[in-house]
Amino acid sequence: MKIGLHVSIAGGIFNAPLNAATLGCETFQMFTRSPRGGPAPKLTPEIVKQFKLNMTAKSLKTCYVHAPYYINFASTNNRIRYGSSSAIRDELERSSLLGVTALMTHLGSAKDSDETTARQAVVTGLLKALDGYHGGSQFLIEIAAGSGMILGSSFEEIAYYIKEIEKKDKRLKNKIGVCLDTCHAFAVGYDLRTAAGVNKTLKSFEAVIGLKRLRLIHANDSLTELGSRRDRHAHIGEGEIGTAGFQALVQNPKLKNIDLIIETHHDGKEKTDLAILKRLRKS
């Protein structure tokens, strides 16, 4: 288990490994472009080479990319819906160029249509994004907190997308993974406050999705209570999940090979979050 933070790419994406190492990260997450829109900066051979050199220089073996925030496979706006498939495919190709371990994304919202139609649109959009993709970066679906009509907020729903995609394109069998965000899962109603709660949640994940699909954990405490369906990250130990929950998480033998990325506010306390999880892993 390697633990890291979401880091800045200011000044060039090749700076991300350097920023991660400065913060004490063992792995890291980044954006490859502005998460709110606009064209993606070109990844020239020189930029890719420097990124990989910096990864090696800092002994970083894994890293992850978060897709832009505007992704919505269920939008009734064609520009957004088709653009989401194109953006995810582009991000996968960019990630593969850089040697990134995996790319994760949220799926969008069903606010513009009924849930059945929205889910079908997600399947169609993901199939389009993944059609013919042969890169080395894995695609991950991140569980959502479930506010409003947000899609992908339960193990059952995520399993549905994976099953439907694999049924329609057998080339994608076992190609799709999952990113479990602790704050989001807790907001949905998966209790992670105790060792018993963590074990129960992982047992449910195994039964519904399969733990072999779990490829990354976003380790964030929650400002709001269990089942709140609100996405409000808190620093480790300062939220409703609490230190005991994260200790159970980082010490669970089923998760020993799963990387953790912290996405708490960058207000100076994120380095403390990193230190806390490292300490809990050893205790």
Residues serving a catalytic function are 36, 66, 69, 106, 142, 181, 184, 218, 231, 233, 263
**Residue 222 burial (CB count, 10 A):** 28
What's the CA dihedral at 151, 152, 156, 160 to 10 degrees?
80
- The first and second tokens of residue 42, run together, are 């070109």
User: CA quadruple 198, 204, 207, 209: dihedral positive or negative?
Assistant: negative
The neighbouring-strand residues paired with 233 are 222
Residue among 190, 193, 172 at smallest CA distance from 180: 190
Q: Is 74 in contact with 37 (CB distance < 8 Å)?
A: no
Would you call 48 exposed, middle or buried from its count of C-beta atoms within 10 A (0-12, 13-18, 19+)?
Answer: middle
- Enumerate helices (H) and strands (E) in the chain, giving the number of each: 9, 10
CB contact set of 175 (below 8 Å; sequence gap of 6+): 130, 138, 139
Would you call 70 exposed, middle or buried from its count of C-beta atoms within 10 A (0-12, 13-18, 19+)?
Answer: middle
Q: Is 137 in contact with 103 (CB distance < 8 Å)?
A: yes
- The first and second tokens of residue 135, run together, are 């890169």
- DSSP-assigned letter for residue 112: T
Going from the C-alpha of 169 to that of each of 4, 73, 174, 268, 279, the distances in angstroms are: 34, 18, 11, 45, 43
